[in-house]
Amino acid sequence: MRVLILGGTGTISSAITNECLKSGNDVIHFNRGTHPPSVNVEFVRGDRFSQEDLSKAAEAKPDVVIDMLCFDANHAQLLTRVFKYKIQQLILCSSACVYDVKSNYSPFTEPMTPNSHWHYGVNKARAESVLREASKEGAFNLTVFRPSHVYDAYSPIHQLGLNGMILFQRLKLGLPVLLLDKGAARWEACFAADAGKGFTAACLNPICYGRTYNLGNGDHFTWQTYYKTVADVLGVQANLRSLESHQIDSGCYAEDSELDFARHISRYNFVVNVDRLHSDLPQLKPHLSLESGLATVWEANSSQKPKSDYSSSVTQLLSLSSALEN
């Protein structure tokens, strides 16, 4: 089987690459070549958003295309123009951000109508719709994955942003760390290797044709639990502080893009139901617990000296926070 990954070097796509190679598949990466592949894959250089360049990727004659770089309807239309009737299956990496996190309907199930309030989720849902219409017309068999948060040893997060190593370093140094609403919102994270297994198992798998899957590990936790688990991994006591989340919507913080992750996603419950995935692909039970995954993060980074300073906005918010009892 020949699997073309549009992207190939990110957190999820690197894991997909490793799992596909383990399964004996031929893997082709298509990207701009900023980060050349470190594994044995074929490589086509080009711009995902150029029809001329994307057509070069089609010349590799893949059986399956996995698109990690499709972010809106225009991208989906370009993808369809280039690959329709040329491949057996298209696998789209969408996002659980398509759901309305403000609804508090969590855990979200796949039949729910996408109704995101954030432009990222809105555009992902529009891309899904374009590709479903193409699939109905016979252009290719479509499978859609909607990952919750996926992380690896080098990409943990914290509630106020995506650079999670700041959280590890601040906890290790005994510095205060900030939570919103006492860290009560529920969250979910999936280790990248487990996500890679999902995409790989779906390749040319007829049971996955026409299906949409939430992708997570089914292990839900609060942000406060997440922070305390990191502290346990580090062998320290967490110095937790809390701020009411409405404060990031006012004054100078309201338009601060550094707070978009917290403003649109992490302040809310963000949990997906993965029963459909585990029913269709029962071999995909997660292998790494939250504690084991975070231990892997620290093992990979403990000798490094990541920065421990919050952004200027989060530092200001920290000064407005109150101590949280452990």
Give percent of the chain with pLDDT exceeding 70.
98
Report pLDDT for 326.
55
Distances (CA, A) of 278 to 175, 192, 217, 281: 40, 17, 10, 5
Whether residue 299 has pLDDT greater than 60: yes
Residues with Cβ within 8 Å of 224's Cβ and at least 6 positions away in sequence, in order, are 179, 182, 183, 184, 240, 324
Q: How many CB atoms lie within 10 A of CB 298?
A: 17
pLDDT band at 306 (very low <50, low <70, confident <90, very high): low
Whether residue 36 has pLDDT greater than 90: no
DSSP string for 41-98: -EEEE--TT-HHHHHHHHTT--SEEEES---SHHHHHHHHHHHTTT-SEEEEE--GGG
Give percent of the chain with pLDDT exceeding 90.
71
pTM of the model: 0.93
Whether residue 325 has pLDDT greater than 70: no
Residues with Cβ within 8 Å of 50's Cβ and at least 6 positions away in sequence, in order, are none
Report pLDDT for 251.
79
Distances (CA, A) of 115 to 1, 72, 111, 270: 36, 15, 12, 14
Residue type, 89: Q
Whether residue 99 has pLDDT greater than 60: yes
Q: Work out the mean pLDDT of the chain and round it to a whole number.
A: 92
Segment 300-309 mean pLDDT: 83
The span from the CA of 137 to the CA of 63, in Å, is 18
Domains, the chain, with CATH or none = 2-150+190-215 (3.40.50.720), 151-189+219-270+288-323 (3.90.25.10)
Give the tokens for residue 275: 């029963």
DSSP string for 242-254: EE-GGGGGSGGGT
Do 14 and 192 touch, CB atoms closer than 8 A?
yes
- 17 sits in which H/E element: helix 11-22
Segment 177-193 mean pLDDT: 92
The span from the CA of 144 to the CA of 70, in Å, is 12
Distances (CA, A) of 142 to 10, 124, 205: 22, 15, 11
DSSP string for 97-123: GGS-GGG--PSB-TTSPP--SSHHHHH
